[in-house]
Structure 1
């Protein structure tokens, strides 16, 4: 299984509405699809979706690294190419590395005749994923608290989502608590809220928010502090039964100390920021061993990236509700995104990644063997 050709497709995917992040509002998603062809007719894909505010390299750095590294794959065996990824000189561009590793893992898992989720589990699950592995529990992504309507909340409940995610930290704490109480009154029994503050609050504001919403059905608050410190996060977590989660600030915090001291209860895992699926699953297993719960999320990635993240979540098999129901926020996509049914993301029933690009996706060859 020698890699005979590599090709790239540059994409720009507009969002249906602005996606709130810690650094502002995202209105489009830019990146590249990598395609690898082998001498025996196999074809595999990887998604390079840099987002510097989430801890990756810049788009220019990603493209440069992706082009250079993809050319080096041509003529190599798939397994040898994967093993060489972390040999000097190491690729220090996580989004580019993620795309290359993803495509290589797609090739290798296809060759093994196993879905990518099972391949990621390796010897831990030699017989394949557990029954029902294709159905990954996910939260509804409803956007900003200030803009979500009662109808949207009720519709998500009607679609059997058990966790509804909302962006907070935009309005005054008292005003947001009032709106959360209104929404809580709409929820059926067993449905909970997941909040993302996008590093909006001072320590004092975060404390006021947590005190005010202690009686509400909130299962997690992500990134509450504008300038997070481990001691402040630990104090916040100790003050509330609500799980506090670290996402983009993991890049600036001492991760070893965070794991050692149980600073927070949850860690958000993003393959693009981790540099690939294998580093992501290694980090998730370390975090789980340290007592942290891990949630796999998407930063409104393309269909290819979301499917890959879904395989990662399935491989973890940690009963978490993951943040991967984001494809509906895109006006168009690189291929058919995974179906969301009954609050679960349905992974393709196929060997490998199971992604196919849309007919309008055009690749430009790099070099040929």
Structure 2
């Protein structure tokens, strides 16, 4: 029997506007549950385009999903071959389709998906909390849930104002707790230099995407001026990955499988980064529980490359409702079951 592809839309409200988007506030996550069926076994994936982070548009994703669902595929390998050629153009769609196929194949093999990706995968992964913006009043609430790496957005207000909020927050921060900051490309080079110089000695774990300018030379120059680890995230789509990997100054990459185009290629990139002495943080795209589960499986597969590194997986609480049960996150870790496939028990 041939492989069948189908997909179904969803629209999930957020509990508040997503903090990383100022000009066009996002209040819903929309996408499709993608299903791959073969005989009496099936697998699922999540297609949730996020164009601001470098995926295709929703219209483009829908067109590609329609094309894949309308074709006849003899098996998973045939469709995977097509996806390999389309990842750069339709990354969110390819992530969803590949996840569905890997879920299907790992169920058939009676393995958790992470073990199919890497036989040495961990069964849990450390997770950072996502607590909104640096000047929000509830920034420390996630500490009560056991997180000791707290991610906060910066670059939304004047640099001086945010520095005052940062220093006030650090005075309240318990020992052994660190802040992971994300500017989403908000600052000029001079603003970023000023912020980093004023932040020296504070418990900052890293700073993601500080620069409005996307060139690698400016980013590397900035990293040379600070002890704080800087990380490349959305700007990776505009950079030559070989230049990134061979630049000794670059310390950390933030990898979203929905932007890279799938679990397998993201794992391969994380392995290449580790071989070059760089860390890789795995993060979601504020997906549904299906996408989050898939990204958690990937984070567990990459955990041996950077043991104990906190990943950006705790985004399910930003949805006021979901299409399935999200993974269990407790005391700053995500715990994955031994259930074959993704670990999603709901039927679609």
TM-score (norm 1): 0.88
1:208 aligned to 2:194? Answer: yes
How far 1:292 sits from its partner (Å)?
1.2
How far 1:78 sits from its partner (Å)?
2.6
Query: In the alignment, is the contact (CA less than 8 A) between 1:79 and 1:108 conserved in 2?
Result: no
Query: In the alignment, is the contact (CA less than 8 A) between 1:65 and 1:91 conserved in 2?
Result: no
Cα distance in 2, alignment partners of residues 49 and 90 from structure 1 = 15
1:93 aligned to 2:90? Answer: yes
How far 1:71 sits from its partner (Å)?
3.0
Gap regions ≥5 residues in structure 2? none
Cα distance in 2, alignment partners of residues 86 and 326 from structure 1 = 28
Q: Deviations over 1:191-233 (max 9, x none)?
A: 1000000111000000000000011100110000012221111
Change in Cα spacing, 1:24 to 1:263, as seen in structure 2 (3 Å) is farther
1:160 aligned to 2:146? Answer: yes
Q: Which residue of 2 aligns with 1:118?
A: 115
Q: Which residue of 1 aligns with 2:44?
A: 45
Cα distance in 2, alignment partners of residues 138 and 3 from structure 1 = 39
How far 1:103 sits from its partner (Å)?
0.5
1:194 aligned to 2:183? Answer: no
How far 1:348 sits from its partner (Å)?
3.0
Q: Which residue of 2 aligns with 1:258?
A: 244
| 1:291-330 correspondence runs (5 A) | 291-317=277-303, 318-319=306-307, 320-330=309-319
Cα distance in 2, alignment partners of residues 143 and 184 from structure 1 = 16
SS in 2 for 1:193: strand
How far 1:342 sits from its partner (Å)?
0.7
Q: Which residue of 2 aligns with 1:55?
A: 54
How far 1:263 sits from its partner (Å)?
4.0
Change in Cα spacing, 1:110 to 1:59, as seen in structure 2 (3 Å) is same
How far 1:67 sits from its partner (Å)?
1.6
Gap regions ≥5 residues in structure 1? 364-369
SS in 2 for 1:18: coil
Change in Cα spacing, 1:352 to 1:182, as seen in structure 2 (3 Å) is same
Cα distance in 2, alignment partners of residues 11 and 54 from structure 1 = 20
How far 1:357 sits from its partner (Å)?
4.1
How far 1:82 sits from its partner (Å)?
2.6
Q: Which residue of 1 aligns with 2:168?
A: 182
Query: In the alignment, is the contact (CA less than 8 A) between 1:117 and 1:311 conserved in 2?
Result: yes
| 1:282-361 correspondence runs (5 A) | 282-317=268-303, 318-319=306-307, 320-357=309-346
Query: In the alignment, is the contact (CA less than 8 A) between 1:142 and 1:148 conserved in 2?
Result: no
Cα distance in 1, alignment partners of residues 201 and 144 from structure 2 = 24
How far 1:90 sits from its partner (Å)?
7.6
Query: In the alignment, is the contact (CA less than 8 A) between 1:163 and 1:193 conserved in 2?
Result: yes
SS in 2 for 1:65: helix
Query: In the alignment, is the contact (CA less than 8 A) between 2:255 and 2:282 conserved in 1?
Result: yes
1:77 aligned to 2:63? Answer: no
Change in Cα spacing, 1:90 to 1:327, as seen in structure 2 (3 Å) is closer
Cα distance in 1, alignment partners of residues 8 and 137 from structure 2 = 34
Query: In the alignment, is the contact (CA less than 8 A) between 2:135 and 2:166 conserved in 1?
Result: no
Cα distance in 1, alignment partners of residues 215 and 41 from structure 2 = 47
1:240 aligned to 2:226? Answer: yes
* CA RMSD across the alignment: 1.8
Query: In the alignment, is the contact (CA less than 8 A) between 2:149 and 2:180 conserved in 1?
Result: yes
SS in 1 for 2:16: strand
